[in-house]
Structure 1
Amino acid sequence: MTPRTRTFRILAAGAAVMLAAAACSGGGREKTEDSGTSGGNAAGSSGYTIAMITHETPGDTFWDKIKNGAQQAAKDTGVTLKYSNDPEATKQAVLIQNAVDSKVNGIATTLVTPDALAGSVKAATEAGIPVVGFNSGIDDYQKLGALMYFGSDETLAGTTAGKRIGDAGAKHPLCVIQAQGSVALEARCAGVKSAVPGTENIQVNGADDASVVSTLQAKLAQDKSIDYIVTLGAPIAIDALKAMDQAGSSAKLITFDLNAEAAQDIKDKKIEFSIDQQPYVQGYMAVTSLYLNIKNGNDIGGGKAVLTGPSFVDASNIDKIVPFTKNNTR
């Protein structure tokens, strides 16, 4: 889902407020049905209903963190949360329109395909329903009419990762894109390439693990000059490890995002580091910001995106973070 002057002070200020209350794009598999999820004992006590709509393809543990954060926020604020998802842009647009038609009080949505979602987001704003973007769409959320945005600047994240591996000697990284047409994933690889010009992109089918492994294995066997592999989702990193083993590759591996298995692989020194966008925070702040906007007219971020990353996870902090990955909160 170009580096800019947004600073992490925005994140620090916003996250401090939200985390005090809560204590905090990858591959995937197939569509799930719309599901209503309440946040716990306090759900509905505010009288507000918030719809969260994403481009999730089920099977990717990344989205469990988004949902866990959103559900905790719903519990803390007494909001009734309705979550739905579809990886197809036109169907995600229909889900947004359905939320508008059901007269929810607020909508939080990913904006990975902004052109396809523009009409339904406009319908929401024209109906007086506040919309918040998160996770994907940092460059487009304001043009679409969303009030606030919570997520990582993917170009900045890619550039930061590229600089780190470049400083470590990378000359020919392979950047693995697992979802065709994803602006966020393309931005990550472009950021890596801006720091390490020898970066090469490869497209894989993130919905098919066996295909990912075979595609990467063939590439690594054919080109021994590849010295780093950059995966853009934790499940793809696990596939890459299998491919590296089968190809006898000596390349080093880094990944974007985390799950429990990838975190353990960082601890075991199989993965150098992760560039974490903190999806739990994205889900939590998206819901809480809408609650505060509806209840009190608050606008978090002062017209600028609130950055939740890049946040590096490596040998220096992995011991602290592993337990949170097992809880699906980091």
Structure 2
Amino acid sequence: MTNRPPSVRSRRLTLAVAVAAGAALTLAGCSSGSGGKKSEESADGALAGKATTPRMTVAMVTHAVPGDTFWDTIRKGAEAAAAKDNIKLIYSSDPSGGTQANLVQNAIDQKVDGIAVTLAKPDAMKDVVAKARKAGIPVVAFNSGVDDWKSQGLLEYFGQDETVAGEAVGRKLNTLGVKHTVCVIQEQGQVALEARCAGVKKGFAGKTDILYVNGADMPSLKSTITAKLRQDSSIDEVVTLGAPYALGAVGAVSDADSKAKVATFDLNKDLVKAVQDGSIQFAVDQQPYLQGYLAVDGLWLYKNNGNYSGGGEQPVLTGPAFVDKSNVETVAGFAAKGTR
């Protein structure tokens, strides 16, 4: 089911309400465990400024690919909210939809107080999400699943409308005079990634090619992009869908002796440096820290106050925001802290 896009005013109001509610308590730090597929728990020690509400347990299940630093920022935001809200956070991840479903089932079996999920593979998650709801566990979605969270009966959605973001990138390429772009998808069938490139193609007036690569194998990714650029010298822009892949594309452009420029979705501190030195034209920031923070804080607000952002009808949008030469210096300090 595809949701009707909310008005710009309603999007801003929804996000403003969520951020204001989340900021009502003093933010406190939280020590982070290691990443990877195995579930990890946040620190349980006493934290200054922590909520005095009863202790909650929240499970966060994502489709993170090992080595993608984007998810470190998501997790950092989630841990900050957990620290503030007196929440025990159990974080786990796997790129396989089937394994994600198993991780959600594990959370149900542990009788957690809330679950935050990414719906990158919505069909794989549908049945287990229904089981969570039947068990009386509130579930929110974030990052992926803007077109599916409502039909699956989830409480809230925090993230970016990927089609809207893709169209915005396409229009920006038009203003830059680009004629032929290749949009690089690092995981075939992942709904958010497919929507991004579909949006680029819709918003861009020139020619758009779609190139599938293996995001878990950076040397292979780089060589595949290199081969594509050597095959077609008319390509003047490479659009990638994640910061690590953008940096690989920069190397591919050099190896192919191509004149193509590189733009990307998503941001990290290394990508910020690449925008600063001009090797990346621009990035689309969906604010992953905010997504992780609001997903956890939203469950606390629902459990303790009965609040839920968007009224069950509207997603809370955290992007897109463009980062380029004009504003990168402002963003750089926050990126260094791991919050942008």
Cα separation, 2, equivalents of 1:6 and 1:88: 34
| RMSD over aligned Cα atoms | 1.8
Name whichever of 306-315 and 37-46 sits farther off. 37-46
Cα separation, 1, equivalents of 2:63 and 2:80: 20
Per-residue deviation, 1:53: 0.6
Q: Could you list the per-position Cα deviations for residues 40-71 of structure 1 after superposition, in whole angstroms to 9, with x for gaps in the alignment?
A: 63479631111111111220000000000000
Contact 1:39 1:81 in 2 (8 A): no
Indicate the SS of the match to 1:15. Answer: helix
Per-residue deviation, 1:37: 1.8
Question: What residue in structure 2 maps to residue 26 of structure 1?
Answer: none
1:52–1:196 distance in 2 versus 1, CA, 3 Å: same
1:148–1:229 distance in 2 versus 1, CA, 3 Å: same
Indicate the SS of the match to 2:216. Answer: coil
Q: Superposition pairs for residues 68-83 of structure 1, below 5 Å? A: 68-83=76-91
Say whether 1:34 aligns with 2:23.
no
Question: What residue in structure 2 maps to residue 127 of structure 1?
Answer: 135
Q: Which runs of 4+ in 1 moved over 2 A?
A: 2-8, 10-23, 38-46
Give the structure, 1 or 2, with the largest relative contact order (CA under 8 Å, sep 6 or more).
1
Question: What residue in structure 2 maps to residue 282 of structure 1?
Answer: 291
Q: Superposition pairs for residues 87-126 of structure 1, below 5 Å? A: 87-126=95-134
Contact 2:66 2:216 in 1 (8 A): no
Contact 1:176 1:232 in 2 (8 A): yes
Per-residue deviation, 1:16: 4.0
Q: Superposition pairs for residues 84-233 of structure 1, below 5 Å? A: 84-197=92-205, 198-233=207-242
Q: Which runs of 5+ in 1 are unaligned?
A: 24-29
1:39–1:177 distance in 2 versus 1, CA, 3 Å: farther
Indicate the SS of the match to 2:264. Answer: strand
Question: What residue in structure 2 maps to residue 310 of structure 1?
Answer: 320
How many residue pairs match? The answer is: 323
1:39–1:306 distance in 2 versus 1, CA, 3 Å: farther
1:49–1:72 distance in 2 versus 1, CA, 3 Å: same
2:240 corresponds to which letter in structure 1?
T
Q: Normalising to structure 1: TM-score of the pair? A: 0.93
Question: What residue in structure 1 maps to residue 338 of structure 2?
Answer: 328
Q: Which runs of 5+ in 2 are unaligned?
A: 29-34
Q: Normalising to structure 2: TM-score of the pair? A: 0.91
Contact 2:264 2:282 in 1 (8 A): yes
Query: Once the two structures are aligned, what percentage of the paired residues are identical?
Result: 50
Cα separation, 1, equivalents of 2:284 and 2:24: 24
